[in-house]
């Protein structure tokens, strides 16, 4: 099979028939063998009934339905597990992503050799204040942290080589950072394609401004896990030792200064009367705690069943 199109959806009943017809037309015009996997993330507007109806008229359409709303990452995880195409295309169900982009995305994977191709909505049709400006800041931060120079990391329209989606785990709200997950799994050829972005035709957006805050926190978590997930002592131990040394030097300096003043008959304050002394003790204690946290994390990591899980490219 050439292409698997994964469509996560939540209360997008009105747009589904038009989207299914659009995808089918593009596939037939380009003579692709394909499947569409619609993952209903606990919709309450009758979307699942519509998926059933569409599947009855087109056997290429398959459906997965959650009992409740779990989020986009969960929907993509299930869609990736079920996909059988050589190229996996993901797109949103709200008709803002154009299926006409699929042939070019397919060629970039199969002919140009990319592992992942991310869409870039150069001309967004969203509210500039609530979507465009926060999105620019979010993507700038993502580029700096991940080292992947994509203009639109969170674009729902993406293409993947099949082995990419079979070797990554999308969880929580990490769907925003699938290119970074792919990079950490060893798939480094990541490209970008400007794509047409359309105004929402039906319904309302399911995401608010909080997604940018959550996205930043998820990015920090993913960065930390990728850098120190299997070696927590390198972060906590180093931080703890540095803090301990700073606190120790401050304490020695305070005590030494007091002794020098006392020996010379100069006015001096008792060590315990100086706020800096208690700050130094706090820094020492925090340093010890960080070091112990790293030690405990290292013990947990070494006893983890996944400590030797590696993504092997080939064996012979």
In whole numbers, what is the pLDDT of the chain averaged over residues?
86
Contact between residue 45 and residue 56 where contact means Cβ atoms under 8 Å apart: no
Could you read off the pLDDT of 129-140 as tens digits, one per residue?
555 666 777 778
Could you read off the pLDDT of 243-279 as tens digits, one per residue?
999 999 998 988 888 888 888 878 878 877 888 888 9
Q: Which of 59, 57, 3, 5 has its CA nearest to residue 32? A: 3
Mean pLDDT confidence for 214-234: 76
Residue 305 has pLDDT above 90, yes or no: no
User: How far is Cα 161 from Cα 87, in angstroms, rounded to an integer?
Assistant: 5
Residue 206 has pLDDT above 60, yes or no: no
Q: Which of 167, 204, 139 has its CA nearest to residue 311? A: 167
User: How far is Cα 170 from Cα 114, in angstroms, rounded to an integer?
Assistant: 20
Backbone φ, ψ for residue 184 (5° rounding): -65, -25
* pLDDT at res. 271: 79
Could you read off the pLDDT of 15-42 as tens digits, one per residue?
999 999 999 999 999 999 999 999 999 9
Choose the weakest-confidence range: 19-23, 92-96, 100-104: 92-96
Contact between residue 253 and residue 245 where contact means Cβ atoms under 8 Å apart: no
* pLDDT at res. 204: 65
* pLDDT at res. 203: 65
pLDDT band at 6, cuts 50/70/90? very high
Mean pLDDT confidence for 275-296: 90
In a 3-state reduction of DSSP, which class is residue 46? Answer: coil
Residue 54 has pLDDT above 70, yes or no: yes
Residue 308 has pLDDT above 60, yes or no: no
* pLDDT at res. 231: 81
Residue 80 has pLDDT above 90, yes or no: yes
* pLDDT at res. 84: 95
Q: Which of 110, 86, 64 has its CA nearest to residue 166? A: 86
* pLDDT at res. 311: 61
Count of all residues that appear for the chain in the document: 316
* Radius of gyration of the chain measured on its C-alpha atoms: 26
């Amino acid at each position: 099979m050439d292409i698997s199109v994964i469509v996560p959806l939540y209360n997008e009943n009105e747009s589904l028939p038009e989207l299914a017809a659009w995808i089918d037309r593009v596939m037939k015009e380009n003579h692709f063998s394909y499947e569409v996997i619609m993952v209903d993330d606990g919709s309450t507007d009758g979307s699942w009934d519509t998926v059933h109806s569409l599947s009855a008229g087109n056997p290429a359409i398959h459906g997965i339905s959650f009992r409740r709303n779990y989020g986009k990452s969960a929907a993509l995880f299930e869609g990736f597990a079920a996909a059988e195409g050589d190229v996996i295309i993901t797109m949103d169900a709200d008709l803002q992503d154009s299926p006409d982009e699929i042939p070019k995305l397919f060629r970039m994977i199969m002919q140009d050799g990319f592992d992942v191709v991310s869409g870039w909505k150069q001309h967004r049709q969203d509210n500039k204040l609530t979507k465009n400006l926060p999105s620019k800041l979010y993507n700038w931060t993502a580029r700096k942290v991940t080292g992947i120079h994509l203009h639109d990391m969170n674009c729902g329209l993406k293409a993947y080589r099949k082995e990419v989606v079979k070797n990554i785990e999308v969880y929580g709200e990490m769907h925003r950072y699938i290119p970074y997950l792919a990079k950490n799994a060893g798939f480094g050829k990541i490209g970008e394609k400007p794509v047409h972005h359309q105004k929402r035709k039906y319904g309302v957006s399911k995401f608010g401004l909080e997604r940018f805050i959550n996205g930043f926190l998820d990015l920090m978590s993913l960065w930390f896990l990728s850098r120190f997930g299997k070696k927590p002592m390198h972060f906590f131990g180093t931080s703890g030792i540095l803090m301990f040394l700073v606190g120790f030097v401050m304490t020695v300096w305070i005590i030494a200064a007091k002794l020098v003043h006392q020996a010379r008959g100069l006015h001096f304050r008792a060590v315990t009367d100086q706020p800096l002394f208690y700050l130094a003790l706090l820094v020492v204690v925090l340093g010890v705690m960080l070091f112990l946290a790293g030690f405990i994390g290292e013990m947990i990591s070494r006893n983890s069943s996944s400590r030797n899980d590696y993504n092997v490219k080939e064996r012979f």
